[in-house]
Each structure stands twice: as structure tokens, then as C-alpha cells.
Structure 1
Amino acid sequence: MTFSIIGSGNIAWFFGKKIAAGGHQCKAVYGRNEATVKELSDALLSPKFGGIDDIQDEISDVCFLAVSDAAVAEVAAKLHFKKTILVHMAGALPLDTIKNASPDYAVLWPVYSILRNNATAHRDMPLAWNVSGDRAKRFVLEMAHAVSDNLFEAKDEQRKWLHLSAVMTNNFINHLLSINEKICAENHLPASSLQPLITQTFERVKHASPATIQTGPAIRKDEATIEQHLKLLEAQPALYKVYEAMTNSIKAMHKMK
């Protein structure tokens, strides 16, 4: 099968290299940044590259719209495919965002934080998919299997909730770790002292439900420790609210059990 890519960022590089390595031929790379588009085109041995206005129908079986979420609708509005299957890769956007650009269309969203050079060797990266029909399903899943063995269907509403969960799991947790790093620095403590605890936490949730292994003063109803922590944060109202909200959330979740 053949494919083309619109975009030259992290997603385009990651999927382009994986799909090409799976035996599918890249026929074209398109995008706004001529230098990075040509670089990706050369890396994928693509015979054609160009700008958004150069995109052609039928140059490939599938065209991956690997652009930012904000640009998906804008770029799709410029496309008028009759044969090429169009695939957007945005977890938070509905399948029908691109329905006017092609009769056959799909979503293929990696539940993973993609960087250009982290083309992981493992084949268990979760890929959520949704399609307009059988033709799109056949082509898109064939190419998706070049990337991962962990494929699952997720309709629009399901994908919204999964995207929200992914943001909380990845972005929010990373932000909490950043806060803790700052707290350590301000108090002349090595942030590395928390690393074994971080590692232990993520190892444990691989094998058990996070709710069943919750620890800490909130679940123990240790009000003295909670008050002590809140007192430390009185001069930092934003962090005070974060700590208080997380504590109350833990209490509420475990009160329901």
C-alpha cells in the first residue's frame, strides 16, 4: 500500500518512519515548512514533496493529516479527495471533522507522547481508531499494524474521555512532578531523592488498580499531617488549592467505597 503525509512535525516523522519500515511506500510529503518537508521526504525516500496547495488526489492510497489539532479543519477544508483515504490523528477531534475532504476517512490516534526520535522498538503503543466505512478500515488498519499490535476502536465520545484521561495521566502528573522539583530546589533538597518513589509508584500501577494501592494522609484520614502541609503552603495560594483539591478528591473517592 502507499501513503502520503501532510505535516513534518513529530507525528509525521514517527508514523512516516514506522509505516515505511513496515513495507508501505511513501509517495509524497506536504507541508508549510519547505525545509522540514523536504527533510522528511528525503528520509522516507518519497519521490514528491510540496506545499499544501500541491496536494493531489490518488497519489497514494492513504493520506495522513499529521498536523496540529488546531490546523486539522483548516487543512481538510482545502482537500477534495475522491479516491484517497484521509486520516486525521487528533485525539480530541471528531471523526467527521474531515468528512467533506474525502468519501473515505478515519482517525488514528496514538495514546502516547510522540517525539520525532522516539521511534520505539516495542509494538504495544496503544492506537485508537475510528473509520467512516469498510474501505477506510481495511487500508488504515493495515498500515496501523506496521506501527503497533495494540489497536482498538474508539468512537468520538469515547475518544474525548480517553484524551482527557491522557492529559491528566501525562501532562498533569508531569506538572505535579515539576512542582515537587521546584519545592525541593527552594528548600535546598535533592529532587533526586524522590526518584525511587516515583519509580515505585509507576511500577505498582502496572500490576494493580491505582485506587487499590492509594496511600498517604488523605486516605488515612490523618488530619494533623494534612493541616501541617497546608500551613506550609499558606504563602503559596495556588499550590494550597492544588493540595487541598487533590486531598478532597482522594477522600471523596474512597468515601464512596
Structure 2
Amino acid sequence: MLISDIPVGGPISIEISIDNVSYEMPSSVVASKNGYILIAPFTSKGAVIDFSSYKDILFNLYTIDPSTQNRVVWKNINIETIGYKASDFSSAYYKISTNVFASIASECDRRFNQRISTEASGSITLNSDNEIIPVTLIDVCNKGLSFSINNKTAPDYNNIYITFSDIANGKQFNFHFKCVIIRSQISGERCICGCVVPAPSREYLTYVFLKKIEYRINASKEQEQQNALKDAAYVASQSIDNTSSGFHSHISSKSR
């Protein structure tokens, strides 16, 4: 099966891999051409995310082969943003191309959903009333999130709405959506709640992706700083050793 064999409207998932950590973003085919397909782009505040500015990212594409019903994958696809006229209006789309045939995907291709730490402030509201309860986010991933809340105001049931704002890689995001609490744990005077996001929006998935990019950049900078400190410590120790050696040589020559 070639990538251009995916029919228009066919559901697909784009897997974005960064340092062996991945997650999938659902989409569908807008147009199918000879050797490539077009899909709707991922956006943030109405602006298309251009992946060409990010380095060392791999993209895989998954879909269901209509003839065999097998889940198939094209690995390391090419993705670029182009302008295209569809449905009588022009817009930006992702052009996805590859020269290889699809291979059958296994569940082991699905990697762990990395959670990214955050200390964003937010609030939750319950279905039963309009009371607003402050919370602090702990971490987020493409399928869920966790937050901490005062023990005295912890919700008694699972369905809630969460509202929070955060900055990811320099972009501002504001959210209000439904969550389902699947676990809770007392920690001192706080209660930690883990949630599933039943229908993550494209905006939320973009936010999580950019948080991963931000984390990777910060981790890389921290590693560079640690390496620089190690190098400086080594140079300093060598300088001390050389000075000490020269001092002892001077003493020895005086003794003779």
C-alpha cells in the first residue's frame, strides 16, 4: 500500500517522536495526489505549527488498510507546510510524502505517553454547581493530566471541568474542557488527582507537543552547562596539579 492510496477523508494518526518519546495526533486526509497526501495542519491560536524549524524529530503515519483491516505504518515520513486550494478556498496544509510501502504496525510501535511537568495555576468546576475551586497542575500528556487540590475541597465524583492557562515554548494557551478523574491520592494537606481527557482537542495536543519541545531544549541546555562545569573543573584541577608539581620541583632543586 502506498501513502497516496489512503482515500480522501480516511482517518490517520501522525506520530511525533522526540528522543524516543512519542505520541499520536489524529487527523484525516484532505487530498490525495500522486506520491503524497495533504492533511489539515496543527495550529496554535490560529497559526499553523511549522515543523521545519524543529530539529531531530521523526514523523510516522498510521492508518487502517481498508483491504486487510491491518493497522499499517509509514515510518520517517516527510512533512512540509504548503498552500493548497480545497473546497473553493485556499489554506495551509501539511504535505506528507514517502517513497516506501506501508508495513504492518504492531502495538510495540506505540511508545509511552511521556508526562511533562508544569506548575500552571487553574481551577475546576463540578457538574453539580458552578463553584470554582483553585488547583495546581502537576503534569500533562496527550491523553490526560494531573493536578493537586486542597483536601477540604477535593471533588467527591469523577466528572469535572478544568480551566487553566500556560505558556509552551513561548506560546500562550488557554483551556477549558472536561476531564474524568480516574485516581486520587492524599499527600499531606493536598489531594493529587490523575485525569483522563476524553476528547483532547488539536489545540491541547499542540500544547503538549510544544511542552515536550520546551522540556527537550531545557534539558539540552542543562546538560551543556553541566559539561561546561566538568570541563572547567578538569582544567582547574590540571592547573593545580601542574602548579603543585612545579613548586615541588623548585623545592627539590634548592635542597640540592
> TM-score category by the smaller chain?
under 0.3
Instruction: Identify, as 1 or 2, the structure richer in helix.
Output: 1
TM-score (norm 2): 0.26
Instruction: Identify, as 1 or 2, the structure richer in strand.
Output: 2
Select the structure of larger CA radius of gyration: 2
TM-score (norm 1): 0.25
